[in-house]
Amino acid sequence: MKALVIHGERDLRVEEIADEPVGAGQVRLRIRRGGICGSDLHYFLHGGMGAIQVRQPMILGHEVSGEIVEIGEGVAGLAVGDLVAVSPSRPCQACQYCRDGLPNHCENMRFYGSAMPMPHIQGAFRQELVANVSQCVPAKGLSPEEAAMAEPLSVCLHAAKQAGDLLGKRVLITGSGPIGVLMALVARRSGAAEIVVSDILDKPLDYARAAGADRVVNTRTDQDGLAAYQAGKGTMDVLFECSSAEVALATGIAAVRPRGTVVQLGMGGDMTVPMQQITVKELSLKGSFRFHTEFVVAIDLMEKGLIDVKPLLTHVYPFADHEKAFAVAADKALSMKVQFDFA
């Protein structure tokens, strides 16, 4: 079968890889859709993120849905032909953090398409994938493209959990890419009273507005657009920093009121943090990394029509057109979420 394999910066190839046997407790999937994530873009454009660099050929991809074509021994509750969303998270269930109920911090995590460990963890941008049954969540009533959005939605649900109760809160989101827009959808569903989204491009902000943001601010063309929220000691209760841009973190923190909460979920390398502002305003600064139990919740929310991800799906390409797909995904003025069709 064929897979998309990254060899280094801007060196992505369609290659033949060997089929894998289906073991007990596993299923074979025909991959239907796969979304290009920000980390995939970093691997393609820069060879990695900070200290995390591609050091050996690695199959990309972790936002996927697939149709079951073969079932292994001991699998119950799934049938050939079922569409499932595939969680890329495969914690070991044996390390200290897994035992402590923190599987997203597993010391032996096998997260699809990750260059963190060596050897790298191969990803899911391939025609067929053998997955553990624990990774597969039935996506009844969803399209393959919606089911493939469960992973980024889970990231935002986990970030909302880190922030705590959002009911009646004033929320600022910096960065209006797919994660920022999904964060706006999650914040609205969680009862936020006011949602403000900032970015440096108008097109991504159009999606945030459509997702329910009360106000959007282009901080490139309106450099004082957040000034009203920065008045006094700040007016916003929660900041979700989704851009991984240092200037966005600084301007966002300036808008957070004393004893507010800052959640950093954008990833792209280290940033200088305005620690003095965090100190004098007694802010809570929290990281948000991956997810686990939220994956099932993401599917449930989409199935019930409580969160609609379809407006974010702007482009789809056959995986043979990977160069064009990555070029479009990298152009934030052109695209929101780009997916591959592996049919």
pLDDT per position as a tens digit, 41-70: 999 999 998 889 999 999 999 999 999 999
Is residue 116 in a domain? yes
- Same domain, residue pair 135 and 184: no
Give the whole-angstrom CA distance, residue 159 versus residue 88.
17
Is residue 297 in a domain? no
Q: Supply angle C-alpha 205, 299, 115, rounded to 5.
A: 75
- Same domain, residue pair 138 and 203: no
Token digits for 1?
Answer: 């079968």
Domain that holds residue 178: 157-287
- Whichever domain contains 218, its CATH number is 3.40.50.720
- Same domain, residue pair 143 and 29: yes
Structural domain total, the chain: 2
Give the whole-angstrom CA distance, residue 88 versus residue 238.
28
- Distance (Å) of CA 14 to CA 6, 33, 36, 178, 289: 9, 16, 15, 26, 30
* Tens digits of pLDDT across the chain (343 residues): 999 999 999 999 999 999 999 999 999 999 999 999 999 999 999 999 888 999 999 999 999 999 999 999 999 999 999 999 999 999 999 999 999 999 999 999 999 999 999 999 999 999 999 999 999 999 999 999 999 999 999 999 999 999 999 999 999 999 999 999 999 999 999 999 999 999 999 999 999 999 999 999 999 999 999 999 999 999 999 999 999 999 999 999 999 999 999 999 998 778 899 999 999 999 999 999 999 999 999 999 999 999 999 999 999 999 899 999 999 999 999 999 999 999 7
> Is 229 in contact with 255 (CB distance < 8 Å)?
yes
